């Protein structure tokens, strides 16, 4: 047994779990913990400007590196400020330790500072909630929480340490927890045989891959080539399958995808969906129909057949399933026609996009294609809720997982900048670029100050259209008018200067390459930079057009006509 303070116990647990950073703002309740963190050998406390950013940064660490991100908050307001990022991690399946300080439990007094029921607040957006009752419990409790956060299906886990446990010393056994993480769950042999039989009778299967397949690595390529199957991914799954491969189709395959994708998917006679949930955003508002019988594989049994009926649901770890399936899986005949159709489809999309270039503003495909050329294949991209995410999904071509970090199922604005800082801290060897809409930037853009103070070489591209673009486009299409979606003007160069960050204007397509290379030179020198991109959103994304068509098509005919007539009437005024 060792007698040490509660703060030292927490730090020892974090170090033993390999947690590299904690993100938060110290307060009266956890100054003892911060004193211990100030003496830590391998855990670095990061001061943020707002706890919402703290949870986004912790998320960015987890998504980009596989290390466990930790948000460290004071009672009450610290937790409620951080809830957006915690909920994002919860819905997107991202592991996170939520380390919350609690009020005193030894005073017997009511109406204490910050006194709210934190366990109740955290319960809807975390996998589990724990409160330490004695100092001797802290070490094992934190280590248990970390293991649970990482265990699939991953997510945030909440631990509350009352302030009085930080104030005193405790006898504690600093031993590894006995409940080790379970081994990856393999598929049952009978389930595997059912899948083999369905694949054997299939003329052309479609592979649909989610974030859960990230651990399968090269086996996914082997599986696609063995089946000669076109491959679509979810938005979160972007990059799990190399997008330069001749069998890669698109992120999605329904109404929110180009026509060539829809045609190829419709020609398939079976869907093998692995590590995905068919969520609303990923499916373009459920605007797709899996072709043929659906084989749905996921570690979480609660998602199987939830939104689309599965002919063969399989509970299994994705990597273990793919590895087992590849054993003795026959090779289907290669199809030069399929690969040619995919290649021609992508060429047609890029030809259409390229025809937009050369205008007086910046066309998104030209911007993102050039950005990839400048940053190279190792770059990490973070996006924000709205157009930035869908443009990046459609225009970037990624060949590795953990390269695309986006708020998807909670779709929380403000993610891109702090998410990029978390990625830059966790992956200092990789270039990091944030694609932030100007509305989302206004929420967490002051983290530029954090980037400047820490010397984080992040390239922040603020996509300036002076609107909440995604919502403005929905309003304009469906309602023919915009309400509360046009932003107040602000001076981005002055804000960057106030935060000590380099600033570059990017007004038009002709300047894209030269400005991005200047920005890359600044980040290569170890400094953050803000690029103000005068973005051209006149061409809607495939995602936006598809979602509008899908939702309009679901309305009863009388309401469809009413919506269309209203929009046309307003345009004719």
Same structural domain for residues 329 and 374?
Answer: no
Three-point CA angle 106, 111, 114, nearest 5°: 90
pLDDT tens digit sequence for 474-520: 777 777 677 777 778 889 999 999 999 999 999 999 999 999 999 99
Phi, psi (deg, nearest 5) at residue 61: -60, -50
* 76 lies in some domain: yes
In sequence order, the β-bridge partners of residue 220 are none
Q: Find where tokens 């007539």 sit.
A: 565
Counts for the chain of helices (H) and strands (E), in that order: 22, 20
CB 270 within 8 A of CB 196: no
Q: Which residues contact 24 (CB under 8 A, 6 or more apart)?
A: 45, 46, 47, 48, 51, 54, 71, 72, 73, 74, 78, 82
Residue 179 is predicted with a pLDDT of 62
**Domain termination residue (choose one: 139, 172, 205):** 172
Alpha-carbon dihedral sign for residues 353, 392, 403, 534 = positive
* pLDDT band at residue 357 using 50, 70 and 90 as cut-offs: confident
CB 378 within 8 A of CB 404: no
Domain check: are 327 and 380 in the same one? no
Q: Do residue 201 and residue 104 come from a single domain?
A: no
For the chain, the maximum distance between any two Cα atoms, rounded to a whole number of angstroms, is 80
- Could you tell me if 214 and 81 lie in one domain? no
Element housing 272 (H / E): strand 270-274
Q: Which residue has the tokens 């943020």?
A: 48
Mean pLDDT check: name the lowest of 26-30, 170-174, 567-571: 567-571
Query: Is 419 inside a domain boundary?
Result: yes
Residue 562 within a domain: no
Mean pLDDT in residue range 200-229: 96
* Domain match, 205 and 123 both: no
Of residues 476 and 60, more confidently modeled: 60
The verdict on 291 and 363 lying in the same domain is no
424 shares its domain with 539: yes
Number of domains in the chain: 3
Span 403-422, average pLDDT: 96
* Residues 160-214: tens digit of each pLDDT: 999 999 988 898 888 877 666 677 778 999 999 999 999 999 999 999 999 999 9
CB-count burial class (<10 Å; 0-12, 13-18, 19+) for 357:
middle
Examine the domain organization and report whether 332 and 364 are in the same domain: no
Q: What is the pLDDT of residue 333?
A: 84
Range of the domain at 43: 2-172
Which pair of structure tokens corresponds to residue 535? 């973005």
Q: Where are the beta strands (DSSP E) in 478-526?
A: 502-506
Q: Please indicate, yes or no, whether residues 372 and 497 belong to a single structural domain of this protein.
A: yes
User: Residue 262 sits in a domain of what CATH number?
Assistant: 3.40.50.1220
In a domain, 553, yes or no: no
The answer to whether position 88 is within a domain reads yes
Alpha-carbon torsion 539, 540, 543, 547, what sign? negative
**Are residues 305 and 240 located together in one domain of the fold?**
yes
In terms of Cβ atoms closer than 10 Å to its own Cβ (0-12, 13-18, 19+), residue 435 is: buried
Same domain, 237 and 263: yes
Residues 301, 302, 307, 312: what is their CA dihedral angle, to the nearest 10 degrees?
A: 20
Does residue 183 sit within a domain?
no
Q: In this model, does residue 244 exceed pLDDT 70?
A: yes
- CATH number at 106 reads 3.40.50.970
Considering only CA atoms, which of 23, 126, 22 is closest in space to residue 83? 126
Residue appearing with tokens 């659906």: 294
* 407/442 same-domain check: yes
What's the angle, vertex CA 499, arms to CA 494 and CA 503, rounded to 5?
55
List residues bridging with 61 in a β-sheet: none
439 in any annotated domain: yes
Q: Please answer whether residues 245 and 223 qualify as being in contact, where contact means their C-beta atoms are separated by less than 8 angstroms.
A: no
**Phi, psi of 385, deg, nearest 5:** -55, 130
In a domain, 46, yes or no: yes
How far is the first Cα of the chain from the last one, in angstroms, to the nearest whole number? 80
């Amino acid at each position: 047994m060792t007698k040490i303070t509660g703060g030292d116990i927490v730090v020892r647990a974090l170090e033993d779990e390999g947690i590299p950073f904690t993100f938060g703002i110290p307060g009266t309740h956890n100054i003892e913990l911060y004193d211990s963190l100030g003496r830590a050998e391998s855990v670095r406390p990061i001061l943020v400007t707002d706890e919402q950013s703290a949870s986004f940064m912790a998320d960015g660490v987890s998504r980009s590196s596989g290390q466990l991100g930790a948000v460290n908050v004071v009672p009450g307001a610290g937790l409620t400020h951080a809830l957006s990022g915690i909920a994002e991690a919860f819905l997107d399946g991202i592991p996170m330790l939520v380390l919350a300080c609690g009020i005193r439990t030894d005073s017997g007094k009511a109406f204490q500072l910050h006194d709210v029921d934190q366990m109740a607040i955290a319960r809807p957006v975390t996998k589990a909630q724990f409160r330490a009752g004695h100092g001797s419990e802290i070490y094992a409790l934190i280590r248990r929480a970390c293991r649970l956060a990482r265990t699939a299906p991953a997510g945030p886990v909440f631990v509350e340490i009352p302030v009085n446990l930080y104030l005193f010393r405790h006898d504690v056994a600093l031993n590894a927890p006995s409940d080790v993480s379970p081994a990856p769950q393999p598929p049952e042999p009978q389930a595997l045989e059912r899948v083999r039989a369905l694949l054997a009778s299939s003329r052309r299967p479609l592979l649909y891959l989610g974030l859960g397949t990230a651990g399968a690595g090269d086996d996914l390529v082997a599986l696609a080539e063995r089946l000669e199957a076109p491959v679509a991914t979810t938005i979160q799954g972007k990059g799990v399958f190399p997008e330069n491969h001749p069998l890669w189709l698109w992120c999605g395959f329904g109404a929110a995808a180009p026509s060539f994708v829809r045609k190829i998917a419709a020609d398939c006679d079976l869907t093998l969906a692995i590590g995905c949930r068919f969520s609303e955003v990923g499916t373009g508002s459920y605007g797709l129909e899996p072709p043929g019988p659906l084989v749905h594989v996921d570690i979480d049994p609660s998602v199987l057949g939830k939104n689309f009926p599965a002919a063969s649901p399989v509970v299994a770890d994705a990597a273990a399933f793919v590895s087992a399936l590849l054993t003795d899986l026959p090779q289907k005949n290669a199809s030069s026609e399929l690969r040619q159709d995919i290649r021609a489809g992508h060429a047609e999309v890029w030809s259409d996009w390229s025809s937009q270039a050369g205008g007086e503003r910046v066309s998104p495909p030209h911007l993102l294609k050039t950005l990839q050329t400048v940053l190279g294949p190792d770059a990490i991209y973070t996006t924000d809720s709205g157009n930035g995410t869908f443009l990046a999904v459609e225009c970037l071509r990624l060949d590795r997982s953990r390269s695309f970090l986006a708020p998807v199922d909670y779709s929380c604005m403000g993610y891109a900048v702090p998410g990029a800082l978390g990625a830059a801290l966790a992956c200092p060897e990789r270039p990091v670029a944030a694609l932030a809409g100007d509305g989302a930037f206004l929420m967490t853009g002051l983290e530029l100050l954090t980037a400047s103070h820490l010397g984080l070489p992040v390239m922040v591209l603020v996509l300036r259209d002076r609107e909440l673009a995604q919502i403005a486009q929905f309003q304009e299409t469906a309602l023919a008018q915009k309400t509360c979606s046009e932003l107040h003007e602000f001076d981005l160069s002055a804000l960057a200067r106030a935060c000590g960050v380099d600033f570059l204007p990017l007004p038009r397509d002709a300047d894209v390459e030269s400005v991005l290379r200047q920005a890359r030179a600044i980040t290569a020198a170890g400094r953050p930079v803000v690029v103000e991109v005068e973005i051209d959103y006149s061409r809607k994304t495939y995602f936006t057009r598809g979602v509008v068509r899908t939702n309009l098509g679901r309305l009863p005919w009388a309401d469809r006509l009413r919506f269309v007539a209203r929009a046309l009437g307003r345009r004719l005024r």
